[in-house]
Chain A
């Protein structure tokens, strides 16, 4: 059974810092990996999608990497801003559905 783990569970950084969020999964047989942002009480906003054949994707200040063989992905956020404060979820595509990690709750202090 696929298990997705995100470390750390919570992270607090001062504004302007670069940071890395980690995601690991137990079964490397995935179709893709997707990073999401969730604000309190809201739905999910897709940030980056990495197909299983890809190693990274970039969008603005965000860069996500994927190492399928080791079961790991990282989300790098450059020059963090208070508006980046949210919970970040990673999910792996397995068969026809997705398995989610518990998320990392990020707080960026002004």
Chain B
């Protein structure tokens, strides 16, 4: 299957700082990437849909000014957690599809464990 690479896998930051997470599709072009958040023993919750060359679409309740998403190329989307607080500590996972259509298989990155101290 296709490969999605997410970096870093683990990050610890101080409250008030910003953290950038990268999501790359290594062997295909992804016009759309998705960012999810997962709390311990809970399922994945979609945060936003990242569209190449345009603004991201955020789910209800997700602060777009706090979770900045940039999708500047067909192989890279970034999520920046700005002014991080301890409650932002979570597991963040990105995914991408090989085509923009809804029926294709989704491939996921390895996830990023963010701890804000």
**Known contacts A43-B93, A101-B43, A96 near B102 by CB under 8 Å:** yes
B interface size (C-beta, 8 A):
25
Assuming the contacts A95-B102, A96-B102, asked whether A46 and B107 have C-beta atoms less than 8 A apart, the reply is yes
Is the beta-carbon distance between A97 and B49 smaller than 8 angstroms? yes
Q: A42-B111, A43-B6, A43-B93 are in contact. Are A34 and B105 (CB under 8 A)?
A: yes
Q: Which of A20-61 contact B (CB under 8 A)?
A: 31-32, 34, 36, 41-46, 49, 51-52
- B interface footprint on A72-110 (CB within 8 Å = 1, 0 otherwise): 000000000000000001010111111111110000000
Distance A4 CA – B93 CA, assembled complex (angstroms): 19
In the complex, chain B residues 1-23 whose Cβ is within 8 Å of any chain A Cβ: 1, 6
Question: What is the bound-complex CA distance between A36 and B1, given in angstroms?
Answer: 13
- The answer to whether B107 and A32 have CB atoms under 8 Å apart is no
Q: Mark B78-116, 1 if CB is under 8 A from A, else 0.
A: 000000000000010101000010110111111101000
Interfacial chain B residues near A100, Cβ < 8 Å: 36, 43-45
Q: Is the CB of A98 within 8 A of B46?
A: yes
User: Which chain A residues border B108 with CB–CB below 8 Å?
Assistant: 36, 43-46
Shortest Cβ distance from B33 into chain A, in angstroms?
11
Contact between chains at A46 and B106 (CB < 8 Å): yes
Is A31 in contact with B110, judged by CB distance below 8 angstroms?
no
Contact A43 B106 (CB under 8 A): no
The answer to whether the Cβ of B54 comes within 8 Å of any Cβ in the partner chain is: no
Interface residues of A (CB under 8 A from B): 4, 31-32, 34, 36, 41-46, 49, 51-52, 89, 91, 93-103
- Closest 3 pairs (CB-CB, A-B): A44-B108, A43-B110, A43-B111
